[in-house]
Structure 1
Amino acid sequence: MNRQTSTEHPLPLAGVTVVAIEQALAAPLCTCRLAEMGARVIKIERPEGDFARGYDAAANGNSSYFLWTNRGKESVVLDFKLADDAALLRRLIAEADIFVQNLAPGALLRAGFDSATLRELHPQLITCDITGYGTGSETSKLKAYDFLVQCESGLVSVSGAPDAPGRIGVSICDIGAGMNATIAVLSALTLRDRTGQGSGVSVSLFDGAADWMTVPYVHERYGKGAPAPQGLKHPSIAPYGAYRTSEGRDTVISIQNDREWGNFCEVFLGNREIASDVRFATNNARVQNRKALDALIGDAFRTRALDEALSLLGDANIAYGQLRQVADMTTHPALRTWSMAADDVELQMVAPPVRAPWDAQRFKPAPKLGEHTARIREEFAAETEEAGA
């Protein structure tokens, strides 16, 4: 239903129109992914704008959050509580394939733009609602910012260091909800291709976090209790963690099976017989005797410089990595970036995680607040009857 299609790139969602009433991170990330696949995304903003616009000014005076999750969209300012703006929104939705929203529960129901009503009016429409805790429970009306959901879901309780649980350092519940919403929308599009009917899909931040917590949940409910925060160690696998070299550099190793453990003992520790020590012969034994294991491995690392340690790990075919800072990540050889304009300055932004034949190698800019309002109002103006018709 897209009135503006492009033939420059054979994008998978070219011709698809998305209308989004969105803010912050989860819904904007979902619709950003759709825009990267070629969809036309019309972002509805209140007069003061998506509040993520003011989160920071790190990107050449712009919000890093906003530029990341709103590139390639069109921004329209309207207030759907006003009759004329509500009529415009209805016309936009009538032309849309997908409607995405993450307002507070009940906000759109009161205005007559809830998903069920919209799909009744437009059976081919796909609607996606993103909430904090879903609907129908006592938590449904709680405000659900990322860190709060990290705490409510138990993510924080298994993160951080012993006796110092910590917030995961990025907005992972928002990000997860956005990606789950993208999956849901694409699934609904595939179903519509077969049936001609739209679907209503929904995701919540808590559901996504709870899904990631499945292993601690099973340990707590059916095992011997959920693992406590482990810092730079793995609660179920050993050795799997960080060890410091002679010059104070942290190297992370991961040994997944007893064959790798034997190689590590022979090449790195210089003693194959350690692999058959009853304390360390199996992964379960190594986890139970982690303190003695870490002391043994830590001593071996402290006697070696980083280059020597990495060389030996490579000889033993052991998986390893270095504990890097964000500054190191910006120059990492695996990092891919695309250009993006921000106020006439070219920024190098992290490239999309999906590599595809339709990669553009460049991001479209994020819109200024209300940048497309006049054009959208003109394009979707109310149709009037011709005189004498």
Structure 2
Amino acid sequence: MDPVRNPFSPGAGSQPPELAGRKTIIEDARIAIERVLLDKPGRSQMFLGLRGVGKTVLLNAVEKLATERGHITSMIEAPENKSLGEQLLPRMHQVLRKLSVVANGKAKAHEALRALRSFASAFKLQYGDLSIAVEPEAGVADSGALENDLPELFVRIGAAAKAVGKAWTLLIDEVQYLNERDLAALIVSLHKTNQAGLPVLFFGAGLPQVAALSGEAKSYAERLFLYPEVGALPERDAKDAIRQPVNDEGADIDEDALSEIFLKTKGYPYFLQEWGHQSWNLAGGERITIDDARQAETTTLKRLDEGFFKVRFDRLTPKEREYVIAMAQLGEGPYRSSDVADALGETPQSLGPRRAQIISKGMIYSPSHGDIAFTVPMFNEYLMRNLSSLD
């Protein structure tokens, strides 16, 4: 079939042609977004899941929903080497600039800008040609303690948004990369705006360990957020994610081809997109057959191995690679840390720092005490498939 018409576009955060299996999450987000505009409490959400399940896609969809309904939105990706304050400063300034041009919001936005100026000075934060042309407000957001100052800023921004009948929605991807201090400050800030009944919402996305990290940062986090699990799609939704885009292009796909793709991808959205993309390009007519789906395996796995999997494996040091290979050689996860230690001829205690470093890189996580698992679906299969070239 014509590759120009190929409806599948596998990529980091790329919007799939059919957002199958996520209707409940999107609907919960819509309700929260609309409630805060009516001065009713809306529950913030933290999307949790492995790599490649579509968390970023969901964040983008939620941002679009919020914008369409009158929210001012700010989207950031938490980096591994940048503070939350540094990331938020330009976004908060942008929000306040937008609010300050509305007559009813000028006074509140001005107060918030003064607090932002104090905050920037206290933390010695700058970006580009940023100029906050107001005097700082002494004693507000200037203590130098993020957990004290950021909540004051959030409250000021929420008050300015409320004054003009708008809301602020903050979205953060890769939440697991926030350090404990930054995560705690964010949680406290959202808690304060929630208590004050201000129109501020948060939607985050991160690896499965984020729920535990949030609870460790602040015990009430479990009551502050919804934690929808974003996982592999069940068979019906997975097939819809392939069938519907194909049909929308005036083509067809055989049921046994859909079953083959689901079997090989296990319903993981990124893999579905990649398999659908290759199957489409291989199809000779206006129908994808099971032969096309089977022939797509070689090209699909090659692309995944050289991109999706390899880019993550390359971040590891030789010793860290040795550790994850030992995991994969034990079979399907989750794995006991003690079993990995036995396989490497070491003790769990001696391997603790190495394990912690791999966790910090977002490659593995601990689903329960003493257990570890890959954050990348089917990563063990990639390692075993390429074992000879990885050694």
More strand by share: 1
With normalisation by structure 1, the TM-score equals 0.22
More helix by share: 2
Higher relative contact order (CA 8 A, sep 6+): 2
With normalisation by structure 2, the TM-score equals 0.22
Larger radius of gyration: 1
